[in-house]
Amino acid sequence: MDRRAFLALLAALAAAPRSAAAQPARRVYRLGILAPTAAPHASEQNVAVTLIPKALREMGYAAGRDVVVHARYADSRLDRLPDLARELVQLRMDVIVAISSAGVRAAMGATTTIPVVIYGNFDPVALGFVKSLAKPEGNVTGVLIAPAGTLAAKKLELLKAAVPGAARIAFLAPADPVGIGPQVRETEQAAAALGLKFVVTEVQAGDYARAFAALAADRPEALFVGAHTFFVRDRKRIIELAAKHRLPAMYEWAEHVEDGGLMSYGSSLVGTTRRLAFYVDRLFKGAQPGDLPVEQPAELQLVINLKTARALGLTLPPALVARADRVIE
């Protein structure tokens, strides 16, 4: 082979596409999800643990090709969360999404290096999870459900507007004193300011029938359902029992109202989980959690189900209905 032919061969080899073997390996991210609830049923789509992977798919992450999700569920046994968090750390997650204050505490106890994305209705500064909302520092950031406090006072005000004659309000709480405590205190203060009698009933071991029987014995005129991941998962059972006991009730999400609850006030479940997925994407791509502000929802909605109101024999004040961002007929 003469020199001219040899140089032509070298040029052709350099221009040829690389083989698949020579291509750099595609990065597959590992996302851990730590939840205090049981794993959702196949039919349950509107819960955070199913909406987060869906939001990532909408952003272009294909399951198995770009991201592998490792979800761990405590099955309502909060004492299991620390062990489950350590398991995710041992599996070398790139990011851990921790749902509820108990989940965040467990994740922080298991790692100080893996980014932890928080999701829930609590004050992360007061609980010591972050230095400040604007500058979290450390390995924790995330998305909150409520903008300031727990929205409990505003929800109670709206519930009182829906049932003007109510003098006694029941508060349904999960067996999670740390996670629900701030809501109870805020609602109790709001009830005192409105001159309402306020009674708390706790759901023990998922026994909703027993909790509602105890609640009904106090003869409340309305029900305030605490904002908690347990109550998102079990919302259909709660709505069914509220209807059975003919209790007008305030819920956390619009999805509660779509499923037959009377009213809700707050942020969007789908919207907040999409923002959560945005944070996960940023962290996958190298952002530092301590530099990402903890996000609070900018938009809140009042949703009312008039069909449920009619079934309860409740005539809602026109002014309240006019305030609603969405009315379900």
Q: What is the CATH number of the domain that holds 93?
A: 3.40.50.2300
pLDDT at residue 249, rounded to an integer: 97
Tell whether 138 and 201 lie within a shared domain.
no
Tell whether 161 and 228 lie within a shared domain.
yes
Q: Could you tell me the two tokens for 45?
A: 């789509």
> Of 16-20, 141-145, 299-303, which gets the smallest average pLDDT?
16-20
Tell whether 250 and 277 lie within a shared domain.
no
Q: What is the pLDDT of residues 216-243, one digit of tens each?
A: 999 999 999 998 888 888 899 999 999 9
pLDDT band at 19 (very low <50, low <70, confident <90, very high): very low
Tell whether 101 and 183 lie within a shared domain.
no
pLDDT at residue 137, rounded to an integer: 93
Cα–Cα distance, 329 to 326 (Å, whole number)? 10
Is residue 158 a part of any domain in this protein? Answer: yes
pLDDT at residue 141, rounded to an integer: 97
Cα–Cα distance, 87 to 53 (Å, whole number)? 20
Residue 46 φ/ψ, nearest 5 degrees: -95, 55
pLDDT band at 8 (very low <50, low <70, confident <90, very high): low
Task: State the pTM of this model.
Answer: 0.81
Is residue 8 a part of any domain in this protein? Answer: no
Beta-carbon contacts of 4 under 8 Å, excluding residues fewer than 6 positions away, are: none
Region 129-142: what's the mean pLDDT? 96
Tell whether 260 and 277 lie within a shared domain.
no
Is residue 7 a part of any domain in this protein? Answer: no
Cα–Cα distance, 191 to 188 (Å, whole number)? 5
CA atoms within 13 A on the CB side of 38: 9
Q: What is the pLDDT of residues 193-222, one digit of tens each?
A: 999 999 999 999 889 999 999 999 999 999
Q: What is the pLDDT of residues 40-61, one digit of tens each?
A: 876 666 678 889 999 999 999 9
Cα–Cα distance, 234 to 243 (Å, whole number)? 15
pLDDT at residue 152, rounded to an integer: 86
Tell whether 200 and 285 lie within a shared domain.
no
Tell whether 52 and 158 lie within a shared domain.
no
Is residue 24 a part of any domain in this protein? Answer: no
Is residue 14 a part of any domain in this protein? Answer: no
Tell whether 217 and 317 lie within a shared domain.
yes
pLDDT at residue 229, rounded to an integer: 82
Percent of the chain whose predicted confidence (pLDDT) is above 90: 69
Region 78-84: what's the mean pLDDT? 96
Tell whether 309 and 275 lie within a shared domain.
no
Identify whether the C-beta of residue 85 lies closer than 8 Å to the C-beta of residue 140.
Answer: no
Tell whether 133 and 168 lie within a shared domain.
no
Cα–Cα distance, 79 to 276 (Å, whole number)? 25
In the chain, the number of structural domains is: 2
What integer best gives the mean pLDDT of the chain?
89
Is residue 230 a part of any domain in this protein? Answer: yes
Tell whether 207 and 86 lie within a shared domain.
no
Residues spanned by the domain of 133: 29-145+269-291
Cα–Cα distance, 250 to 303 (Å, whole number)? 10
Is residue 100 a part of any domain in this protein? Answer: yes
Q: How many CB atoms lie within 10 A of CB 87?
A: 15
Is residue 273 a part of any domain in this protein? Answer: yes
Q: How many CB atoms lie within 10 A of CB 3?
A: 7
Tell whether 116 and 206 lie within a shared domain.
no
Across 189-193, 231-235, 267-271, 319-323, the highest mean pLDDT is recorded for: 319-323
Identify whether the C-beta of residue 269 lies closer than 8 Å to the C-beta of residue 232.
Answer: yes
pLDDT at residue 96, rounded to an integer: 98
Q: Taking 60 as the threshold, does the pLDDT of residue 22 lie above it?
A: no
